[in-house]
Amino acid sequence: MPRILITTDYLRPDDEVDHYLRAHGHTTVHAPPAGRGGPEELVAALDGIDAALVGHDPLTAQVLARAPRLRVIVRTGVGYDSIDVGAAGRLGITVSNLPGINANAVAEYTLGLLLAAARRLVQSAGGVAAGRWPREDGHELRGSTLGLIGYGAAARAVVPLARAFGMDVLCTTGVPEDQRSDPSVRFVALPELLAASDYVSVHTALTDRTRGLLDAAFRRMKSTAVLVNTARGAVVDELALADAVRTGEIAAAALDVVSEEPLPADSPLRDVEGIVVFSHLAGQTAEARAAAGLEGAAEVLAALAGRPRFAVNAHLLPHAPTARADG
């Protein structure tokens, strides 16, 4: 009977996902979040485990090498940069994500950050809480230009919302031209996007190519521009961003993600007027969580049966992806 480890923090024993997996004959083990205490804690949680339904647990090559029964990892979200996909492939472990599962939640949240930044809502509420009554002018989104970095499911979901507010939309992406089907979006190179946009919203995956993508790039942006990031913190060079906002190279930043979470006490992003950091909430809606849990459980079953639908490392797997050489 396969044993499935569940580390995603919003999934609980006896919930719908737990019942679904047990109804299909599997044993579930809950340990959310298993890796917070370090790699040894995660290795212990993976002992005797065949499949794992995970959040942001750091599944490194060293951890995976010590989990000889593990055949399947499913990430209950889109990003999977916390998993060593190459090491998993070499060990015959299928790694899946859930593309687009929280795209609507992220898109709505992105518009919320744009509105909050444009109308200075956080600063206003903070001023009232401190006993003041701030009345500075904000800006309307209508007539402004939004630049999207990336054209995945979340970015595509942002487009109609931004257009409904009267924004022009630019996008820079590596997506092939035959997949850029929205005539309301103008696709441009990154330098042009940065120079033309009033708001720049990050939606790209974290890869070797995109790590630190936005560093000296702030010099290309308008002094009135606002950066929004709901993708991955490490896409942005945080020291460069703090300097850019502090010196007026750009006006502000609204960040839902940072390089190290929770935000460290010594982060350069702290105490910079114009930078607001939120606690990684973009995809965290009741609806998105429910969908991710059930879809993730279904992917676990499909992958255990040798038929993963969303494997991100299929090209790295041996011919028998459900067989571990060491297990």
Catalytic residue positions, numbered: 232, 261, 280
Tokens 């308008």 correspond to what residue? 222
- Edge-to-edge strand ranges of the sheet holding 252-255: 185-187, 168-172, 145-149, 199-202, 226-229, 252-255, 275-277
| Cα gap 246→57, rounded to integer Å | 34
- In the chain, the N- to C-terminal Cα span, in Å, equals 15
- Give yes or no for a contact between 99 and 310, defined as CB atoms under 8 angstroms apart: yes
How does 285-321 read in b/e, with b if 16+ C-beta sit within 10 Å?
beebbebbbebbbbbbbbbbeeebebbbbeebbeeeb
| Cα gap 14→6, rounded to integer Å | 12
| Cα gap 260→135, rounded to integer Å | 34
**3-state helix/strand/coil string of 284-307:** CCHHHHHHHHHHHHHHHHHHHCCC
Which residues fall within 8 angstroms of residue 57, CB to CB, at 6 or more apart?
7, 33, 34, 35, 42, 82
- Give yes or no for a contact between 18 and 28, defined as CB atoms under 8 angstroms apart: yes
**Would you state the structure tokens that stand for residue 266, as one six-digit string?**
């010594």
